[in-house]
Amino acid sequence: MTGVIVSIINGLLLGAIYGLAAIGLTLIFGVMKVINLAHGAMIALGMFALYLLVSWLGINPYLAVPVVGVGGFLMGFCIYWIAVHRVIGRAELMSLLATFAVSMIIVGVGTVLWSTSPYNVQVDMPGLSIGRYTIPGNHIVAAVVAILVAVALYLFLYYTRLGKAIRAVASNRQASELMGIPSTRVLAIAFGIGIGIAAVAGSLIATLFPFTILSGASYELKSFVVTVLGGLGNPAGALLGGLLLGLIEGSVSPFVSVSWTPVIEFSLFVVILILFPAGLFRVGRGR
Partner 1 sequence: MMIKRPFFWMIVATVAVFAIAPLVGGIGVRESLFLAAIYMILALNLNFMIGYTGYVNFGSIVFFGLGGTLGIFAITVWGWPLWAALIGAGVVVAGLALLLGLGILRLRGAYFALATIGVVEATKAFVSNFDPFGGSTGMYISFSAYKPLGGAREALWVAYFLLVAVLGISLLLSFWIKRSRFGLGLFAIREDEDAAMVLGVKAPLFKAIIYSVSSVLPAIAGVLFFFKNGVIQPEQAFDLTLSIEAIVMLMLGGQGTVIGAALGGFAYEQFRGYLLTSSTFSSFHLVIAGALLLLIVLFAPGGLIGWAHERWAITRKVLE
Q: Under the rule (CB under 8 A), what is the footprint of partner 1?
A: 29, 33, 35, 83, 86-87, 90, 92-94, 96-98, 100-105, 107-109, 111-112, 217, 221, 224-225, 228, 232, 257, 259-260, 262-263, 265-267, 269-270, 273-274, 277
Distance CA 141, CA 280 (A): 28
Asked if residues 12 and 247 have their Cβ atoms less than 8 Å apart, the reply is yes
Instruction: Report in angstroms how near the CB of residue 40 gets to partner 1 at its nearest.
Output: 11
Distance CA 254, CA 109 (A): 39
Residues forming beta bridges with residue 134, ordered by sequence position: 129
Instruction: Report in angstroms how near the CB of residue 174 gets to partner 1 at its nearest.
Output: 20
CB nearer to partner 1: give 1 or 274.
274
For 260, the enclosing helix (H) or strand (E) is none
Distance CA 247, CA 210 (A): 22
CB nearer to partner 1: give 31 or 145.
31
Using only the alpha carbons of the chain, give its radius of gyration: 18
Instruction: Report in angstroms how near the CB of residue 185 gets to partner 1 at its nearest.
Output: 20
Instruction: Report in angstroms how near the CB of residue 221 gets to partner 1 at its nearest.
Output: 6
CB nearer to partner 1: give 87 or 121.
87
Beta strands in the chain (DSSP E): 128-130, 133-135
**DSSP label of 209:** S
CB nearer to partner 1: give 36 or 183.
36
CB nearer to partner 1: give 48 or 269.
269
Closest by CA position to 88, among listed 1, 179, 170, 207: 170
Instruction: Report in angstroms how near the CB of residue 228 gets to partner 1 at its nearest.
Output: 7
Instruction: Report in angstroms how near the CB of residue 104 gets to partner 1 at its nearest.
Output: 3
Residues forming beta bridges with residue 119, ordered by sequence position: 211
CB nearer to partner 1: give 29 or 62.
29
Instruction: Report in angstroms how near the CB of residue 280 gets to partner 1 at its nearest.
Output: 15
Conformational region of residue 130, where left means phi above 0, alpha means psi within -120 to 50, and beta covers everything else: beta
The C-alpha torsion from 267 through 232 and 16 to 250, rounded to 10°, is -10
Distance CA 152, CA 155 (A): 5
CB nearer to partner 1: give 78 or 123.
78
